[in-house]
Amino acid sequence: MRFAKMHGLGNDFILLNGFAEPPPEPLSVLARRLCHRRLGVGADGLIVLSPSRGADFRFSIFNADGSQAEMCGNGMRCAALFAKSEGLATGFEYEAETLAGLIRTRITDAASGLVEVDMGVPVLAAEKIPALLPGNPPFALPLAAGGWEFRVTALSMGNPHCVVFVEDVESFPVEEFGPLLERHEVFPARANVEFVQVCSPEKIKMRVWERGVGVTLACGTGACAAAAAAFLNGHTGRRVEVCLPLGSLSLHWRESDGRMMMTGPAEKVFEGEF
């Protein structure tokens, strides 16, 4: 089975061309095997591109623990470049079918691997996130976990997110509180958890605990959630740079149509056979 290893700011994935070689089922078992850091290729997730009736390709993503995710921003940028290199679509603009709906991508600079992704409209209704929290949208709400009381903002970018603002994100114990918030009873489908430090009205820093994975170097939907939460809480404007350990993503929450636009890099690391 041919595969490509790619990453978006360190958030790494194994990509399979399901057009040429449909992978064996079940994909959840395959994901656990391939993503194992010592016994497999090693990655945060497995992405399979396969034929779609209404889009250029179907985008399926499974976390390292075998759970299926609705969408992934960093993975989508990787998928766009992978689709281009595999000849799965023509031109530089693609439409992908995901569990979160149709996602549009545009390769803005093929040489440097820059891809813009239309991440859609952030979902702020608590029952649709889903989150068992009051408020519409549910932001700056108290939530107790591990003996601490956090002020959290919940929203969905096709998958559930819990955003927490902290004073110093570098020293904050993400590994301790990330899993507690991910599996908190107020998130029936669990949640991705973003810990965010506001640097200026135009810049924030973020570390992330991803649902079904743990600490990752980047999260595209998480960056979108962090940007939306920063604006909702009055910390930033609608355009913001989200700084991650290995680089930055540019986010624009458009006022005209409410859609979140994300631009950032993706890169192929190597190819191989498994």
Active-site residues, by number, are: 72, 219
Strands (E), the chain: 2-8, 11-17, 45-50, 57-63, 68-69, 93-98, 101-109, 114-118, 141-145, 148-156, 160-165, 192-200, 203-210, 214-216, 239-244, 247-253, 260-265, 267-273
Taking Cα atoms as reference points, which of 28, 27, 16, 21 lies closest to residue 83? 16
Torsion on CA atoms 123, 129, 132, 135, rounded to nearest 10 = 0
Q: Tokens representing 137?
A: 């949208």
Per residue, what are the HEC states of 137-148?
A: CCCCEEEEECCE
Q: Residue with structure tokens 């603002």? A: 165
Torsion on CA atoms 71, 73, 75, 79, rounded to nearest 10 = 100
Q: How far is CA 168 from CA 13, 118, 148, 156, 237, in A?
A: 29, 30, 16, 25, 21
- CA–CA gap between residue 19 and residue 49 (Å, rounded): 7
Are the C-beta atoms of residues 3 and 15 closer than 8 Å to each other? yes
Are the C-beta atoms of residues 39 and 248 closer than 8 Å to each other? no
> Which amino acid type is present at position 146?
G
> In angstroms, how far is CA 122 from the centroid of its own chain?
13
Q: Residue with structure tokens 């991705």? A: 192
